[in-house]
Chain A
Amino acid sequence: MLQRLFSFRGGVKPETNKAPSVQVPIGLAPLPERLYVPLHQHIGGHPNPLVEAGQRVLKGELIGGAEGWVSAAVHAPTSGTVIAVEEHVAAHPSGLTTLTVVIEPDGREEWIERQVVDHRSLPPERVREFLRDAGVVGLGGAVFPSHAKLTAAKAVAMEDLVINGAECEPFMTCDDVLMRERADEIVRGIAIFRDLLGARRVLIGIEDNKPEAVAAMHEAVGRLGEDYQVVAVPTRYPAGGAKQLIRVLTGKEVPASKRSTELGVQCFNVATVYTAYRALAFGEPVLSRIVTLTGNVEQPRNWEVRLGTPMRDLVALGRPKPDTTRFLMGGPMMGFEIPDLAAPVVKATNCIIAGSPALFPPAPPEMPCIRCGACAEACPHELQPFDLYWFARARNFGKTQEYSLFDCIECGCCSYVCPSHIPLVQYFRFAKSEIWAREREKQAADAAKARFERRNSREEREQAEKAERLAKASVARTSGSRPAATDAGPPARPRGSSAEAGSGSRAESPTDAAAAPAVGDAEALRKATIVAAMERARAQRESAQPKNTDHLSAAQLREIAAIDARRAVLGSAGESPKGPDE
């Protein structure tokens, strides 16, 4: 089928290096000794752990429940025992830790009961919920929960569903082999997304350096009788960026502040579609993913790896060459150096590249920007990286936002072409995270202010209420004492009686009797209450019996006697100055 292709601006053509890892089919990575499954593997809410140490879990059992709508569930990748739920190093450039469920596999691979669902028989909301609880997220690398993208905009009908098999990053071939080997499942999965979105046309975009994948997909589409268009797009990095691929296939340019749904287009990665199909048709949640292991290794290959497998175990399968110095997660353009190989494979781990000084020579020293404009020409989003660099470097973050910093997809084209070897993307990442941090601080300050103000108003209100209560009480007292003077009894009774009951003696009756006619009746009453309270306290002290005194040693008894003696001395000393006063 003839299809008019469009083009996006900018982009680069780095060496693809894809051939070595597609020579052998996907291998199933062996079960590691321990699986470290982080609970937060996607963008959005942190799932809460649903298991505890010592608990036995089955393959596919829910171990972390989705928290909020933009979130996804996490499952046990195999059957075994939960060893711990603890902090473990994350697959993240910082090398910081994250809450992780550690599972010791028992090797039996016992499945939990799988629930097969036909997406046409359920209402769309239920299907979206099902996908969320199956942990389906964007496996292209952004790990955004897919169900949250599966709603068409209210005002705009869904025109095109773009399936992203472009895989433009050098070295990476996980989507390529998936399309070659499991094309039928992908094509069947596309039907789910198409039905949920009500898309009129489906376009599958694959870079033209993967003719086998194009052929396999074409064949599968024909075999299953679908009308999807498989389109080979020109190989140019970053053709696999969602906005770029949409532009190439449909000619629609997604504006800066809009989402593609508002233009009637939505884009999903082939691996995401595959996992969605497995989830619905087989009841299998996302437990593993295809990871390309390549670079400076003896055996570059794609592996189907259980999530949570330590990267060290995976890397060992490829046998890194002795001069390997570092490992990258993701491609060489957008990936990051893995700080610790103890970090597990997660849903975002699409590729691991072993690096050596020969393969990735150390970056030459950064030179001053000469404002040549090469970065602006390479930028696929038509930004001006040199300006952004200038402002980010000067920490002028307001200006970076004016120059649309947040439209930058961090593809790395600008750094790639920069003749001065400036790590431009690093500056942009720095500026972005700094802006986010300030945003968080601002929100925290606003919240603190609001709480402070609420507290102040509450205190004021309480004080006012208390003053009012006191005023009322004093009014009641003055109005109450007048009838007491005439009636000589009942209204004053409650207060007098409480003092009486406390003391348990008739000693108060004279004061009580005297209080009624006297003007200083409150004064006398107060004194009486104090006397009564002191009396009560003394009675309590005397009635208190020492406890645990049955089996005391002689030394302990001596000690108690000494303490009692000291107490008696102190007591008499405390009383003596009072004597004359009384």
Chain B
Amino acid sequence: MISALAIMALGAVVLGAALGYAAIRFKVEGDPLVEKIDAILPQTQCGQCGYPGCRPYAEAISAGEAEINLCPPGGLDGVRKLADLLGREVKPLAAEEKPKQVAIIDEQTCIGCTLCIQACPVDAIVGAAKQMHTVVESLCTGCELCVKPCPVECITMEPLTEKLDNWKWKYPVIEIRRVA
């Protein structure tokens, strides 16, 4: 009787210690759900959702504070993926969906004020005070944050053109012909 109790107590102590150790050793830092949501978001850091960057928006979604349809660069595709992940309903996008764009600085008009450089969330604009600025196209996420601060309105957003490098085979379309 006593020995049985001792064995059970010993088992409880050992298992408890193991669990306690595992809880410390394999502690999950941060919220894994936020990471998953953040991975779906397009990382343009544009703030069009009303949050200062993609990660804060991901945190807000995970906390249940924000809708999943606030991200225009992610498009309906992104909303669908978020709905899949979170088990929520797919909703139409809150704003209109735009094609992927890139910012272009009209270098003739640029006065070199550096305001756009300060506004760019991904450091995609190079230039210095009173020197011409330019956008590094491959780094630009098309967030439009540089457009507003420009005092001479020399930044325009251009949709990305199709080039050989980003050309895609199209979905095969079946031609429907009139037979009679």
On whether the beta carbons of A429 and B169 are closer than 8 Å, the reply is: yes
B101 interface residue, CB < 8 Å from A? Answer: no
Residues of B near A92 (CB, < 8 A) are 164, 167
A92 to B166, CA, bound (A): 13
Nearest Cβ distance between residue B144 and chain A, in whole angstroms? 14
Nearest Cβ distance between residue B84 and chain A, in whole angstroms? 12
Residues of A near B141 (CB, < 8 A) are 444, 448
Residues of B near A448 (CB, < 8 A) are 43-45, 122, 139, 141
Residues of B near A366 (CB, < 8 A) are 172, 174
Instruction: Give chain A interface residues in 470-512, CB to chain B under 8 Å.
Output: none
Q: Which of B54, B163, B169 contacts A449 (CB 8 A)?
A: B54
A432 interface residue, CB < 8 Å from B? Answer: yes
On whether the beta carbons of A447 and B168 are closer than 8 Å, the reply is: no
Nearest Cβ distance between residue B95 and chain A, in whole angstroms? 19
On whether the beta carbons of A426 and B44 are closer than 8 Å, the reply is: no
Residues of B near A440 (CB, < 8 A) are 166
Residues of A near B169 (CB, < 8 A) are 93, 426, 429-430, 432-433
On whether the beta carbons of B168 and A433 are closer than 8 Å, the reply is: yes
Nearest Cβ distance between residue A431 and chain B, in whole angstroms? 9
Q: Please, what's the 1-or-0 string for A88-123, where 1 marks a CB less than 8 Å from any CB in chain B?
A: 001011101110000000000000000000000000
B162 interface residue, CB < 8 Å from A? Answer: yes
A200 interface residue, CB < 8 Å from B? Answer: no
Residues of A near B170 (CB, < 8 A) are 430
Residues of B near A97 (CB, < 8 A) are 164
A445 interface residue, CB < 8 Å from B? Answer: yes
On whether the beta carbons of A94 and B172 are closer than 8 Å, the reply is: no
Q: Please, what's the 1-or-0 string for A41-62, where 1 marks a CB less than 8 Å from any CB in chain B?
A: 0000000000000000000000
On whether the beta carbons of A445 and B43 are closer than 8 Å, the reply is: yes
A90 to B162, CA, bound (A): 14
Instruction: Give chain A interface residues in 135-160, CB to chain B under 8 Å.
Output: none
B42 interface residue, CB < 8 Å from A? Answer: yes
B121 interface residue, CB < 8 Å from A? Answer: yes
B53 interface residue, CB < 8 Å from A? Answer: yes
Nearest Cβ distance between residue B126 and chain A, in whole angstroms? 13
Q: Is the interface of A mostly helix, strand, loop or mixed?
A: helix
| Most chain B CB neighbours (cut-off 10 Å) among A97, A366, A444, A448 | A448
Quick one: closest A residue to B52, CB to CB?
A: A456
Nearest Cβ distance between residue B45 and chain A, in whole angstroms? 5
Residues of B near A170 (CB, < 8 A) are none
Residues of A near B175 (CB, < 8 A) are 365
Given contacts A427-B172, A430-B171, contact A451 B166 (CB under 8 A): no
Residues of B near A419 (CB, < 8 A) are none
A434 interface residue, CB < 8 Å from B? Answer: yes
A365 to B179, CA, bound (A): 11
B107 interface residue, CB < 8 Å from A? Answer: no
A451 to B140, CA, bound (A): 11
A94 to B169, CA, bound (A): 8
Nearest Cβ distance between residue B18 and chain A, in whole angstroms? 37
Residues of B near A360 (CB, < 8 A) are none
Instruction: Give chain A interface residues in 415-452, CB to chain B under 8 Å.
Output: 423, 426-427, 429-430, 432-434, 436-437, 440-441, 444-449, 451-452
Nearest Cβ distance between residue A519 and chain B, in whole angstroms? 39
Nearest Cβ distance between residue A286 and chain B, in whole angstroms? 21
Nearest Cβ distance between residue A426 and chain B, in whole angstroms? 4
Quick one: closest B residue to A363, CB to CB?
A: B175
A126 interface residue, CB < 8 Å from B? Answer: no
B123 interface residue, CB < 8 Å from A? Answer: yes
A447 to B42, CA, bound (A): 11
Q: Which of B45, B164, B168, B172 contacts A452 (CB 8 A)?
A: B45
Given contacts A430-B172, A451-B123, A455-B122, contact A446 B167 (CB under 8 A): no
Residues of B near A454 (CB, < 8 A) are 123
Given contacts A92-B164, A452-B45, A452-B53, contact A426 B172 (CB under 8 A): yes
Nearest Cβ distance between residue A468 and chain B, in whole angstroms? 22
| Most chain B CB neighbours (cut-off 10 Å) among A423, A432, A447 | A447
Instruction: Give chain A interface residues in 364-417, CB to chain B under 8 Å.
Output: 365-366
A432 to B141, CA, bound (A): 24
Residues of A near B43 (CB, < 8 A) are 445-446, 448-449, 452
A97 to B167, CA, bound (A): 11
Nearest Cβ distance between residue A425 and chain B, in whole angstroms? 9
On whether the beta carbons of B164 and A96 are closer than 8 Å, the reply is: yes
Instruction: Give chain B interface residues in 146-178, CB to chain A under 8 Å.
Output: 162-164, 166-172, 174-175, 177
| Most chain B CB neighbours (cut-off 10 Å) among A40, A436, A445, A454 | A445
Nearest Cβ distance between residue B35 and chain A, in whole angstroms? 11
Instruction: Give chain B interface residues in 27-72, CB to chain A under 8 Å.
Output: 38, 41-45, 53-54
- A-B pairs with the 6 shortest C-beta distances? A445-B43, A429-B169, A433-B168, A426-B172, A451-B122, A449-B43
Q: Which residues of B contact A (CB under 8 A)?
A: 38, 41-45, 53-54, 121-124, 139, 141, 162-164, 166-172, 174-175, 177
Provide 8 A-B residue pairs closer than 8 Å at the C-beta atoms, listed in order of the A residue.
A92-B164, A92-B167, A96-B164, A433-B169, A437-B168, A448-B122, A448-B141, A449-B45
